[in-house]
Amino acid sequence: MLLFTKKAPLHVEMVPKTAWGQNLRKSCIEAKSLRSCNWDRLRKLAYERAGYRCEVCSGRGPKWPVEAHEVWDYRMPTPADQRTIQRLDRLTALCPACHSVKHLGFTRIQGREAEALQHLKSVNGWTEEQVASHVTLVHELWTQRSKFKWTLDLGGLLDYGVTEADATALAAIINKSEPDTEFEYEGWK
């Protein structure tokens, strides 16, 4: 089975089902009182830092050059510490094609899975078998992570000029919300 490797620049990153709908963009937009959490400012800063090019393939989209993507780190429970933490590592600028790969489950629902898998294959120089192996591995990881309720840590926003108080308040708002699980990934239930 193909493991994640630094040599392959593009990977699928499926958000656990128990964290669906609890996203940073939506929450920043709704939390207008948290001035430093302005989503437009945050995403544009990510675009600027990347030179308005995709940080994976250096490409640009046909309608807009790049989109902001949240890179999350998931800490699974251990015997010594049962907490499950979904920590924001950083924001990254991705072309729409690479962004569709990152959210392959959602892309599948939109009927664009074949196009995204072809992009994954092309960017990484993989065979069909390597792509299939990667997707299987990611789905297994998604299934495991979806067994847990995640507590958000938005400390990664401090690198984008968000105050610690605003990051903590925003995480509290998101942590209180319920996941949006009203749809299933067909074939991945």
What residue ranges do the domains of the chain occupy?
17-176
Residue 94 pLDDT exceeds 90: yes
Give the containing element (helix H, strand E) for 8: none
DSSP 137-179: HHHHHHHHHTTSPPEEE-GGGGGGT--HHHHHHHHHHHHHSPP
pLDDT in tens, 2-11: 455 557 999 9
Give pLDDT, residue 179: 61
Question: What CA–CA distance (Å, rounded) separates 146 from 144?
Answer: 5
pLDDT for residue 35: 82
Q: How far apart, in whole angstroms, are the C-alpha atoms of residue 112 and residue 161?
A: 35
The predicted model scores a pTM of 0.86
Cα–Cα–Cα angle for 5, 158, 46, rounded to 5 degrees: 60
- Model confidence at 183, pLDDT cuts 50, 70, 90, reads very low
The pLDDT of residue 11 is: 96
DSSP β-bridge partners for residue 153? 87
pLDDT tens-place string over residues 122-154: 999 999 999 999 999 999 999 999 999 998 899
Angle between helices 113-124 and 128-145 (to 10 degrees): 110
Average pLDDT, the chain: 88
End-to-end CA distance of the chain, in Å?
Answer: 21
**Can you name the residues that pair with 92 across neighbouring β-strands?**
69
